[in-house]
Amino acid sequence: MSRAAVLSDREWARLEPLMPSSKNCPGRPFQDHRRILEGISYRYRVLSQADAAGLIEWEVSVDSRVNRAHQHSTNLPRTTGGTSELHESAHRAS
């Protein structure tokens, strides 16, 4: 099956109004929504066929370790204490 024939015109007509518009959005305009959805549908169809044939092992690994975000990845302000922090680090280094 070709990827271009995943969604019929009738199916796309129902989905198209649900897609977001890039109008009045800063940055690069969105890619063709139909092409993106057809690619996703194609990949999941192949995946479901492989699962039905027993070719996929579904294993889930749960890890209890804590992952900490870098200080700049949050949206909270970070108070460093000004330049005294830099001077303090320099004294420890010597």
How confident is the model at residue 74, as a pLDDT? Answer: 64
Q: Which residues of 63-72 are buried (b: 16+ CB within 10 A; e: fewer)?
A: eeeeeeeeee
Say how far apart CA 11 and CA 16 lie, in whole Å: 9
Q: Which two tokens stand for residue 2?
A: 């070709």
> CA triplet 42, 36, 45: central angle to 5 degrees?
15
Q: What's the whole-model pTM score?
A: 0.49
pLDDT at 16: 93
**Confidence (pLDDT) at 61:** 76
Residue that has been written with the tokens 């977001």 in this structure: 20
Residue 62 host element (H or E): none
Encode the chain (94 residues) as per-residue pLDDT tens digits.
Answer: 444 568 889 999 999 999 988 888 888 888 889 999 988 888 888 888 999 999 988 887 777 777 677 766 666 666 665 555 555 555 555 5
